[in-house]
Structure 1
Amino acid sequence: MRSLKYLFIAFFITFFGFPSHEATAVEENTTMEVKLKNYLGNRTSVKITATGDYRNSGGEIFIKAGESLTLKAESAELAVYKGSQKTGSYASFKVMPVKPEASLSINGRPYQGSMTFTVEDGYIRPINAVYIEDYLKGVVPLEMPALWHAEALKAQAIAARTYALRHQSSIIDDTVSYQVYGGAAGHYRTDSAIDQTKGMVIKHDGEIIEAFFSSSNGGMTESNSNVWSRGNPLAYLSIKKDFYDSKTNWSITLDKQQIDLSKMDLSKPEEWWTSLEEKDKTVVPKLKAWLTNNGYAKKDIKITEIPLLTFTDEKTGGRVTKGSIQMNFYVRDLVDDRGKLLQQTVKLTNVAASKIRGMVGQEVMKSYLVDRSSSDPSKIAIEGSGYGHGVGLSQFGAKNRAEAGHSYQDILGFYYPDTIIEKEYGPGAGSKTDIVVKEEPNSVNMKAKTDHLNDEVGITYSLKEDAVVTLTIKDRKGNALASPVRDQTMKKGTHSAIWNIIAVSNGTYEAELSAMERGGNEGLETMAIKISRDTSAPKITDVKTSGDYSTEKANITYSINENANVTVEIKNSKGKIVGILSERQFHKGSQSATWDFKNMSNGIFTVKISAKDESDNQKTISTKISIRKTTGIVKANELSIKESRNAASETIGTLHREQAVTILAQQDEWYKVKKGSQIGYVLKKHIKK
């Protein structure tokens, strides 16, 4: 059956000129179908631009190189416009590049391969059929920073390819529900990692595995069956300590009382409603959004108390599976027969922890690994570690292992034990590699504390039984630099050693502890030690802001003098965060961020840029940006808002005399205006500034 499939593809390529990447493409049969939802969102109109000719399924040229078309969802069909001229209408259609190197941009983002356009729930939904290696070049740099160690990037490339091929039989999408995919915009370092591992996948018992991965496992990998109730535990997705994971920490701190209404007249909310806000600016907005989507749509809500937020029922790996929450709140128009506001309560008890995490926000509660929680009469405090589900490969763990000298085989061997790497397609297809599993420690609680004042590192470790101990310090290449403990017989319990670092450069080193008990069995434990004498915070310079009222977007540019994790926030005049533009690692040099202010009112906003380097030195600077949109007054008794600068175009709204509108841009005799959520065009002569 498989050979017939290949034969059909070969016939199709020969007679219809379907693009081929190389001579082995016929044998590979590795096209992915990806529904574009993440970047595109829900749009009723999109612009497509081609760098080469694209033909339709009938063989006719649909769009030429350099040409742009607009697609609109009209009455459950796709209408195609060239300029203002409608050229056709389709239930769906597919376009294919005449030459393989061509790309098709959708709203400015290029994609390779063919594209099928459909209407889904009233929105335009493209499906990109793309050669898997090109698909990966749009995945890996979005899943792992391209500037990370090459061995970590190779491990990520193989894991991403494995995951993709496991799901090849179905149409996936470009969101975190599968793998984030950014089209043809790749990076040369991740492209290289993908090319060097071309065709490689991970298998167990001859089958391609479920190669799950997450950002950080918090120091403990997790079983698939503990995270997802469906299916049996998979042998290659086990629970064990990961000493190389960065243990990304997160915390939630909430005041139980968010608004004090003890002195307020609940029968006269108009006297105080707009002046009172909840104390928390991170979790509460997400809880209000949840309420909006669960029975309180289009309601004005004030959350007054959060008396309960707990997590329980830990699984073997320490991750919680159940949670409880209670919210007391008022809704602006829900009153009793005397006109007094009625307190509303939502209480969820012992529901799935995933439900509670979805309510408070996945970027706030980054994982289910809760380390500590406390509650007193006034506050709730929860601390945890990890970012994501913790199953399979840890991206930060892979980074740290690569920097400690581990190869991509070593990395994959730890996170997917009892597996092999096999070349699924391409030159050398069928060849297999037994991947290495680094032996994990039998001793426990190995810790290190650096004292830069005295140029030494204190290392503590525990032994489960009497043993002969050797402690060796190695550099990134595996060369031994020091042996603070050599062949010493020690009793079970806790011990310590000192490593002198006066002649050691900054960098990441590995402490390897060997403990051999009387029977000759040896336990090994390794730990990464980072030496960084940097005490200076990153410098943020050349901060500039500029706004474009035609697009309603502001550009913020700045420079940082070293690699750092950067957060760019926008706050309004009340100090409320109204936008988070960046929250990830950046390379030193010039950077930029874009703020979409179309839903913002006029005012002075604060741009806050925070940069934290690898030594946890942090610098924060702020600057102001002013939004002053031009206001116009309607002069006509009734004025239609047009979809485009054409009197014959569709009317999308109506204005009346003396109404105020926001003028975004002037184009010939037209103003581009905004009224509420509507954006369109009106004749300039009917508006006075």
Structure 2
Amino acid sequence: MKAFKRGLLIGITLMLILSLIPNLPAQAAGEPVLQVALKNYLGNVKEITLNPEVDYSTNLGDTKLVAKQSYRLTINNGNIVLFRGTSEIGRGTTIDIKPLQGNGPVSINTRPYLGTFRFVIENGNLRPINSIGLEDYLKGVVPAEMPALWNMEALKAQAVTARTYAMGYPNRVIDDTQGYQVYSGYAWHERSTEAVQSTVGQAITYGGKAIGSAALFSSSNGGKTESNFNAWGNAALPYLVIKDDPFDPKTAWNFSIKKQQIDVSKLDLSKANLWWNTVKESEQTAVITNIKNWLKTNGYSGKDIKIAAVPTLSLHAQGSGGRVSKGSITLEFLVKEQEKAVLNRLKLIDVPASRIRAMTGTTIMKSYLVNKIDSSGDSILVSGAGFGHGIGMSQYGAKKAGELGKNYKEILGFYFDKTTVTSVYQVAPVAVVVEPASAPVVTAPVPVEPTPVTEPVMSAPVVVTPVAEADVKDTLAPTIGSVKTTLDSSKQQVNLSFAVNEAAKVSVYVKDPKGAITGFLVKDLQRAAGNQTLTWDVSKVNNGNYSFGIIAVDGSNNRGSALVSYALNKPAPVKVAPKKKDTKAPTIKTVKTSFDTKKNQVKVSFATNETAKVTVQVKDSKGKVLSTLLNNSNKAAGNQAVVWNVSKVNNGKYTIVITAADSSNNKGTASSAYTLNKPKPAPNKMTGKVNVNVLNIRSTASTKGKIVGTVRRNQTVTVLQKTGSWYKIQYGRKTGFVAGQYLSNVK
């Protein structure tokens, strides 16, 4: 969940919001039942496998699903067809199943779930809808939303927040994705389950009513909570206020984008087939990939796109919570059209910051709490704090508060101002025949973002920002200056550089010594203001006096021009002796090995004297290859290092073989013998607590043993081993034996 569905919030008034929150009095009876469409783990499929652990009834007459047997659902002519093996046993436009014993479970494509199901056809795919009691639903939500090994008070706060949020969707189908809350089915973790059970039926209430889907949370608020009014513009809720958060770790983030990604002036756009597959953006980063994906979902679907430049990016209009609400960006990008490349320009001015964040990626620009933007150099640098919208509870903040001794009610009271935690319903237990497998522990909470609304973008080659009627008409022509020419004799080309003071369509032509135009370097190419660079291929051009004509036309059709003379004087070609064939193999030196006992890794370091494709293998005493640490990996000359994971490798003698092949296929090899000698793991120690006033420690495991010391009630001792009904313990630097019945909580 971790974020409100943005489409449901924009423009909603306070009265409408309060009408959506369930009107649950503090002592309402009966556990809510949720309807959850399974999408997150299942995806979009046209066939589903069912494996019930108990018998299930269906809506197909007397047809039942028998425990421990496998079934299959497919789509045929608008119907869902149920198979056992290869035999069809029923069909219908929808299929319902209900456990005949307890609450299940049934596995859907190997993932187990409790409750009843309705299977429907949704956009040509099979979609299961799980009807599940709220408490069992939470046991599948909490371990998916917060690491189960975090402190118990944070887990309880998460459980109550998730329960309250889910109560905001009565009589409505939600799904199991991050758009609501991630629901992992019958994959429970004992600690998360304990948090749910110890807070059963409890919700966050304001004025005696549960706050429902306003119970928001995010990974980190960056040190300051945000209001729903600032985030989405709807009527402010009195319990979602702006305040400094002393518990949040102020998670920092940053990203950068180079302003120029591709120098379009060096490309022949009319012959894109000659260079399209080899020319790439200067940065192959997630930001560039996200921008291209955003363009493809906003007017350029199915198009092959390259980002040429990001000349400007700004984020501004900070609200009272310190978060930006507006942004502007300029994009120049190439679109492949048959054999040509078309240069497009998109300029977004003062659009919602959410659109800029959707373009760059919500896991890149992690929040709207932007601290700094620096665009003074060749790159645009953006930095901020937090992860998610920052409204309601910070998960990392809840963790820290719990570690500092706050209980879950105090945590929730801080993040949801003037609210209380109240028991709103009672739950009757439902028997479950099959115990769940323990859920995996998520490494960290990841804030959930609502799916951004797709916004159309004009697909014309050049996107022009309209000028407001009140603006003064532009009558100034672009200026062209700082013109320089240099000859690169090695590449047989002339480099022409110049600057224009505003965005304009640029044309550059070349005149020969007789004054005739021999061709255009670019023609009507839309360029941003600033320095421009073009190249003129002179490999087949005679020496002589030439001139460059530069024309710039701005958006108001004002025309500026410059004519620059150039004397071409190519030096006579120098004959180059043929290069001798390289026959010398790479050398591999200073092979060293070191063992890291903590990480169970052997580090292998060595040096190569030239660029080469390197392979590193580990062989056992019989010469068999056990592991390939590098496989034909291209490495520059210099020091190299690889790591061999030996956590599952036995002690013994091994050989590390290093091979390096240069560009002439000369191969050099080095071997190094290595003896693996991992230390034996230290034995696990247990502890126990004394449950009698005075406990005698004896020299042997018998009441006849000599008393060598005493320990007292509630004293914790180290247990070394168990001998019959006696424990051998350590007290100080000495050891002795005590009767096992007088120690509790031995583990």
Aligned-partner Cα distance in 1 for 2:47–2:202: 39
Query: Is 2:311 aligned against 1:307?
Result: yes
Query: Is 2:334 aligned against 1:330?
Result: yes
Q: Does structure 2 conserve the Cα–Cα contact (< 8 Å) formed by 1:118 and 1:125? A: yes
The match for 2:250 is 247
Matches within 5 A, 1:236-275: 236-275=239-278
Q: Does structure 2 conserve the Cα–Cα contact (< 8 Å) formed by 1:54 and 1:61? A: no
What is the deviation of 1:61?
4.6
Query: Is 2:130 aligned against 1:131?
Result: no
Q: 1:268 to 1:221 in 2, by over 3 A?
A: same
The code of the aligned residue for 1:118 comes to V
Aligned-partner Cα distance in 1 for 2:415–2:120: 39
Query: Is 2:303 aligned against 1:277?
Result: no
The match for 1:182 is 184
Q: 1:326 to 1:74 in 2, by over 3 A?
A: farther
Q: 1:143 to 1:427 in 2, by over 3 A?
A: closer
Q: 1:220 aligns with which of 219, 224, 228?
A: 224
The structure with the larger Rg is 2
Aligned-partner Cα distance in 2 for 1:70–1:383: 50
Aligned-partner Cα distance in 1 for 2:303–2:597: 44
Q: Does structure 1 conserve the Cα–Cα contact (< 8 Å) formed by 2:31 and 2:426? A: no
Q: Does structure 2 conserve the Cα–Cα contact (< 8 Å) formed by 1:204 and 1:419? A: yes
Q: 1:321 aligns with which of 294, 315, 325?
A: 325
The match for 1:351 is 351
* Deviation by residue 1:384-438 (Cα, 9 ceiling, x = unmatched): 111111110100000000011111111011001211111112289xxxxxxxxxx
* Deviation by residue 1:93-137 (Cα, 9 ceiling, x = unmatched): 211111124211111111100011001111111110001111000
What is the deviation of 1:542?
7.2
- For residue 155 of structure 1, give the secondary structure of its aligned residue in structure 2: helix
Structure 1: 5+ residue runs without aligned partners? 1-25, 429-536, 544-570, 576-588, 591-689
* Deviation by residue 1:464-494 (Cα, 9 ceiling, x = unmatched): xxxxxxxxxxxxxxxxxxxxxxxxxxxxxxx
* Deviation by residue 1:331-353 (Cα, 9 ceiling, x = unmatched): 1216xxxx753211222211111
Q: 1:539 to 1:312 in 2, by over 3 A?
A: farther
Aligned-partner Cα distance in 1 for 2:392–2:348: 31
Aligned-partner Cα distance in 2 for 1:228–1:128: 31
Structure 2: 5+ residue runs without aligned partners? 1-27, 429-595, 603-630, 636-646, 649-747
Q: Does structure 2 conserve the Cα–Cα contact (< 8 Å) formed by 1:258 and 1:304? A: yes
Q: Does structure 1 conserve the Cα–Cα contact (< 8 Å) formed by 2:63 and 2:90? A: no
Q: Does structure 2 conserve the Cα–Cα contact (< 8 Å) formed by 1:255 and 1:280? A: no
Q: 1:71 to 1:282 in 2, by over 3 A?
A: same
Q: Does structure 2 conserve the Cα–Cα contact (< 8 Å) formed by 1:53 and 1:61? A: no
The match for 1:37 is 39
- For residue 253 of structure 1, give the secondary structure of its aligned residue in structure 2: strand
The TM-score normalised by the length of structure 2 is 0.53
Aligned-partner Cα distance in 1 for 2:98–2:598: 48
Q: 2:84 aligns with which of 78, 82, 85?
A: 82
Matches within 5 A, 1:66-465: 66-209=68-211, 210-230=214-234, 232-278=235-281, 279-333=283-337, 341-426=341-426
What is the deviation of 1:302?
1.1
- For residue 295 of structure 1, give the secondary structure of its aligned residue in structure 2: coil
The match for 1:526 is none
The higher-RCO structure (CA 8 Å, 6+ apart) is: 2
Aligned-partner Cα distance in 2 for 1:101–1:382: 51
* Deviation by residue 1:423-454 (Cα, 9 ceiling, x = unmatched): 112289xxxxxxxxxxxxxxxxxxxxxxxxxx
Aligned-partner Cα distance in 1 for 2:600–2:361: 32
Aligned-partner Cα distance in 2 for 1:540–1:346: 50
Q: 1:292 to 1:76 in 2, by over 3 A?
A: farther
- For residue 400 of structure 1, give the secondary structure of its aligned residue in structure 2: helix
* Deviation by residue 1:614-640 (Cα, 9 ceiling, x = unmatched): xxxxxxxxxxxxxxxxxxxxxxxxxxx
What is the deviation of 1:85?
2.9
The code of the aligned residue for 2:140 comes to G
What is the deviation of 1:211?
0.8
What is the deviation of 1:354?
1.2
- For residue 259 of structure 1, give the secondary structure of its aligned residue in structure 2: coil
Aligned-partner Cα distance in 2 for 1:131–1:542: 47
What is the deviation of 1:157?
0.5
The code of the aligned residue for 2:52 comes to A
Q: Does structure 1 conserve the Cα–Cα contact (< 8 Å) formed by 2:273 and 2:340? A: no
What is the deviation of 1:152?
0.4
Aligned-partner Cα distance in 2 for 1:265–1:572: 36
Matches within 5 A, 1:421-570: 421-426=421-426, 540-541=599-600
The code of the aligned residue for 1:346 comes to L
Q: Name the structure with the higher strand share.
A: 1
Matches within 5 A, 1:623-642: none
- For residue 245 of structure 1, give the secondary structure of its aligned residue in structure 2: coil
- For residue 262 of structure 1, give the secondary structure of its aligned residue in structure 2: helix
Q: Does structure 2 conserve the Cα–Cα contact (< 8 Å) formed by 1:324 and 1:348? A: yes
Q: Does structure 2 conserve the Cα–Cα contact (< 8 Å) formed by 1:94 and 1:117? A: yes
Aligned-partner Cα distance in 2 for 1:366–1:538: 37
Q: Does structure 1 conserve the Cα–Cα contact (< 8 Å) formed by 2:143 and 2:188? A: yes
- For residue 135 of structure 2, give the secondary structure of its aligned residue in structure 1: helix
* Deviation by residue 1:249-273 (Cα, 9 ceiling, x = unmatched): 1111010111223323222222221
Aligned-partner Cα distance in 1 for 2:77–2:345: 42
What is the deviation of 1:168?
2.5
Aligned-partner Cα distance in 2 for 1:139–1:538: 38
- For residue 98 of structure 2, give the secondary structure of its aligned residue in structure 1: strand
What is the deviation of 1:357?
1.1
Matches within 5 A, 1:635-674: none
What is the deviation of 1:175?
1.2
What is the deviation of 1:207?
1.2
- For residue 264 of structure 2, give the secondary structure of its aligned residue in structure 1: coil
- For residue 139 of structure 1, give the secondary structure of its aligned residue in structure 2: helix
